[in-house]
Structures are given as C-alpha cells and as structure tokens.
A = this chain, B = another copy of it.
Amino acid sequence: MTSFTVFGTGNMANAIGGVVAKGGSDVQYIAHAESGSAQITGDVVVLAVPYAALAPIAAAYGEQLKGKTVVDITNPLDFSTFDALVVPAGSSAAAELQALLPESHVLKAFNTNFAATLVAGTVGAATTTVLVAGDDADAKAALIAAVEAGGLAGVDAGSLRRAHELEALGFLQLTLAAGEKIGWNAGFALAS
C-alpha cells in the first residue's frame, strides 16, 4: 500500500487525502509547510497548494523529496486576467517543478478534477477520472492504483509533456465554471 503525504489544508488537500485514505493508503497532512521543518513520511507527496507555493516548497523540502513521487495539482492561472496561464507558452507548472526537483518523480494529476467531484466520486453520471501524466511509469501506476482503490478511475495520460495539455484542460474547465457554463461540482468526464 502506498503512503501519502499531502501538503495543504484546502478543499483539494482534503478531497485527495480522503480518496486515497478511502482506498486504504496512510495519509499524513502537512498544514504549515512554510516552516520548512516538517518530516515527510509518505512515499507519494501531493502538493495541494497554489502554484506560487511550489517553488518555496521545492526549496525547503528538496532534500527530503529526493527519490519520492511528487504530485503537482496546480492550475497556474493568471488570476488578474483569467485569460492565460502564468507559465511560459508550451510549458507547464509540472515541468517547472520537475526542473526544481530533478531527483524526484513529478506527476501531474488532479488539476482537472474539481474537489466536489473527488468527494462525490462522480462527474454527472460518470465515475470521476483522475488523469495522470509523468515520466516514471511505476510512479504513475502507484498513484492510479491508489485512486482506483479509493473508488475513482485513473488514466495514464502520457509523459510529463502532457502536463501542458492537462493544464490547458484544467484552465478551460475553470473558465467554464467561472462563466457559469458548468457547476463547480461538474466538469469534464472521460468515457472510455
């Protein structure tokens, strides 16, 4: 069984921790990452924090994160315009995080899931699907197994390069919700 550490205290932190705990994984929560002094116990570390917090966490916890799977869930929106991402065109927050943590296995996941759909387990009538992109096959398989044990569907969405597309999808979904085209308990479902 995979052990998790979840950084963060928001809806997404609680929802993701809840899914994998339901699947039988041990979950450690680190609420106050800014101290830089927490001891990480999980093999998979979910950074359920805003984009701006990624670099400071990488700086403070880089040594502890070596060899671990690190999951980036962020949607790096430019909230001043809601019309673009703040990462360079063609890149992704996950690629930036991988560059900061070259000895960690960075995955992109959960950024296309609204918290309510993780808690409910459904998007409309469909089972909620967690799309997972990354370059380490074992890390992806372990995360997918953990979310499936928690009652969701998990799909390998390809290499970490696909984080660009996952962040585009997350951004699009946020604009649709902000524009009241969809609810915050809805969004994109994946039919197989």
Contacts and interface: CB of A to CB of B under 8 A. Distances in A.
A75 to B, nearest CB: 11
Contact of A172 (B162, B181, B189): B162
A123 B191 contact: yes
A191 B181 contact: no
B188 A188 contact: yes
Interface in A135-162: 155-159, 161-162
Contacts of A168: 164-165, 168-169
Contact of A89 (B89, B162, B172, B192): B89
Interface residues of A, number: 37
Interface string A107-151: 000000000000000011110000000000000000000000000
A126 B188 CA distance: 11
A50 interface: no
A175 interface: yes
A36 interface: no
Nearest to A182: B192
A191 B161 contact: no
A165 B172 contact: yes
Contacts of A186: 190-192
A103 interface: no
Given A168-B168, A169-B169, A175 B192 contact: no
B189 A189 contact: yes
Contacts of A172: 157, 162, 165-166, 169
23 contacts: A89-B89, A90-B90, A124-B125, A124-B191, A126-B189, A126-B191, A155-B176, A157-B172, A157-B175, A158-B175, A162-B172, A162-B175, A164-B168, A165-B171, A166-B172, A168-B168, A168-B169, A182-B191, A183-B192, A186-B192, A187-B191, A188-B190, A189-B190
Given A83-B159, A89-B89, A182-B190, 19 more contacts: A88-B89, A90-B90, A124-B125, A125-B126, A126-B126, A156-B181, A157-B172, A157-B175, A162-B175, A164-B168, A165-B169, A168-B168, A168-B169, A169-B169, A176-B190, A181-B192, A186-B192, A187-B191, A189-B189
